[in-house]
Amino acid sequence: MLHHEAVPGDATIAATARWSSPPATLSALVVDFVRRHRSAYVSSALMLAAIALLIVWIPRQVGALVDALVTQRLDRPALVWEIGRLLAVGVVVYGLRVAWRLQLFGAAYRMGIELRERLYERLTLQGPRFYQTRRTGDLMALATNDVDAVELAAGEAMLAGFDGTLTLVLVVAAMTLGVDWRLGLVVLIPFPAMALSFWWISRHVHDASREALGAFGSLNDHVQETLSGVRTLRALGLAPNAGARFAGLAQDAAAASLRAQRWEATYEPAVGLTLTSAIVLALGYGGWLVWHGQMSVGQLTSFGMYLGQLIWPMFAAGWVLSLVERGRAAWGRLAPVLAEPLAVDDHGHVDAVRTGPLELQHVGLTYPGQAQPALRNVSMCVEPGHTLGLVGPTGAGKSTILRLLLRQWTPDAGAIAWGGVPLEHHTLQALRQAVAWVPQEPFLFSATVAENIALARPQATRDQVQEAARQACVHDDIERLPNGYDTPVGERGVTLSGGQRQRVAIARALLADAPLLLLDDALSAVDTETESRILQALRRARHGRSVIIVSHRLSTLQDADEIVVLRHGQVSERGSHAALLARAGWYATQWRVQQLEASLDAA
């Protein structure tokens, strides 16, 4: 895969750079989001306030209507008029409820979009160090379940909390100040106990939600890993074991979600007990007041309606706390990923790579957690239009050099310069547009063969795509596919053989026409005859392009301008193919062994 296609474009990188670090808490995130989308939230809040005032007006009006009917002070036309007014207010309340939900959810969905974009941008800019410690399935779960939980906390929870609080204040004020303050204070006696139970329940909801999100992440990771390696599992007869593990993880995820739901369900009994106690107190003390003539039947009716209106604020409190605790648990998982520092910071200012020699000067690197350095005091130079071969035993540091050139890692010692400009002075976008990289295991996308080859140059014509395929010796193979260049290759190129995937990736690199081509053992899956044809095509199509080839097959490097032998992270030999054979060192020994193996295979 072309490496520069694995990172976002200039606008994406710039947007990510402007966003310094995520807020430390969910409340800070919500405050920042509301500040930037204040118009939607303010309009929703005003509509909720209007709704609260109207629904508080309705019981008072019904109470007055009841008293007028009891005292026979209301004729039929007046009764019809009053009922019509109540119905009109109900229609207005309905319209306002629809309107505030449209406003609110539109804003809340934008938060989900923003979080997913920021998470995606961060993930695309991270290097190998990050993905060595993170699971792909869990990262996918962050972009789905966790973002949804944060979105609900910033949207529904916030406005429902505002609506419930405002309604509670207005209803309690109407009960105590508008009807009877004594009865209002009596029915509020159970509420402190409800608040205490809500505090206790919310702590358990937070812990249970965090466990449920983590369990879903583990399940998601297992599914992703199993589907990616399904052919290997079948070949080794491990499908039943994978299925058993999936069943266990699914059961754990279901149990964790059930625990969270159980704790969330305990809000309702707390509300029910509080409301029942309030109703009993209201009926008992209110009836006593009516019996003694200190309250009218209409006033008690209004008070009863107000008490019924307290159902929503009480249930809203439990619902809001549940959403907030779930959102806090999700943000506790999202924030560390969004705040994870990049393996290589993009602080460069050079927007274009200048043609010139590529130099490594006394470069050293030790991977985190490793005692031995991967590279020590490595120096080499690749002139424009030249080919450099890198060979050596497994673990000698060959691929590490390519990672340094791609700026996936930064050297601990020494310096790397291209055209006289230090590598870190280039922007990552400029550097990676100037490099075409073909790894040993290339990645193909779920697209057609032509689209995969033209990945770096989407505007390329079909003739240009076919010419690149011919140079990579894969044109004839493509023509034999059911739909030729328009044949979908499946996920990760599953419909193609290993050698075909490598050659499609080489065609993609050739079509990119970048000034530096990196081949990391990219011919390991092709036969020697095809390898020879590809190398000849590379020499013809080089046109000033520098090429670095990593290979265990020494025949690949016979025509390289210089070959560097790495052992234990250091340069042990260097020179042309003929010079290294004359030196009778490691390279010469390996050459004789490989030639002997080739002769035995031919026999």
Domain boundaries, the chain: 24-339, 358-574
Contact of 570 with 376, CB cutoff 8 Å? yes
Q: Which residue has the higher pLDDT, 152 or 574?
A: 574
The pLDDT of 125-133, averaged and rounded, is: 78
Phi and psi, residue 480, nearest 5° = -80, -10
pLDDT score at 602: 58
Residue 63, number of CB atoms within 10 A of its CB: 23
pTM as predicted: 0.69
User: Strands 421-422 and 413-418: what pairing?
Assistant: antiparallel
pLDDT in tens, 165-187: 777 777 777 777 767 778 777 87
Give the closest residue to 214 by CA, choosing from 265, 127, 149: 149
- In this structure, what token pair is assigned to residue 546? 């520098």
226 — pLDDT class (breaks 50, 70, 90):
confident
Query: What CATH number has the domain spanning 24-339?
Result: 1.20.1560.10
CB contact set of 327 (below 8 Å; sequence gap of 6+): 26, 149, 150, 152, 153, 154, 157
pLDDT score at 215: 83
Q: Which of 321-325, 459-463, 589-593 has the lowest mean pLDDT?
A: 321-325
Do the two domains 24-339 and 358-574 of this chain adopt the same fold? Answer: no
Contact of 462 with 450, CB cutoff 8 Å? yes
CB contact set of 224 (below 8 Å; sequence gap of 6+): 136, 137, 140
Residue 32 per-residue DSSP state:
H
Distance, CA of 468 to CA of 475 (rounded, Å)? 8
16 — pLDDT class (breaks 50, 70, 90):
very low
The pLDDT of 201-213, averaged and rounded, is: 81
Distance, CA of 44 to CA of 48 (rounded, Å)? 6
Contact of 562 with 388, CB cutoff 8 Å? yes
Residue 592 per-residue DSSP state:
H
pLDDT in tens, 274-294: 778 877 887 777 778 778 777
Q: Which residue has the higher pLDDT, 447 or 60?
A: 447
Query: What CATH number has the domain spanning 358-574?
Result: 3.40.50.300
352 — pLDDT class (breaks 50, 70, 90):
confident
Flag whether pLDDT at 12 surpasses 70: no
pLDDT score at 601: 65
Flag whether pLDDT at 10 surpasses 70: no
Give the closest residue to 364 by CA, choosing from 390, 401, 391: 401
Flag whether pLDDT at 434 surpasses 60: yes
Flag whether pLDDT at 18 surpasses 50: no
Flag whether pLDDT at 127 surpasses 80: no
pLDDT score at 379: 92
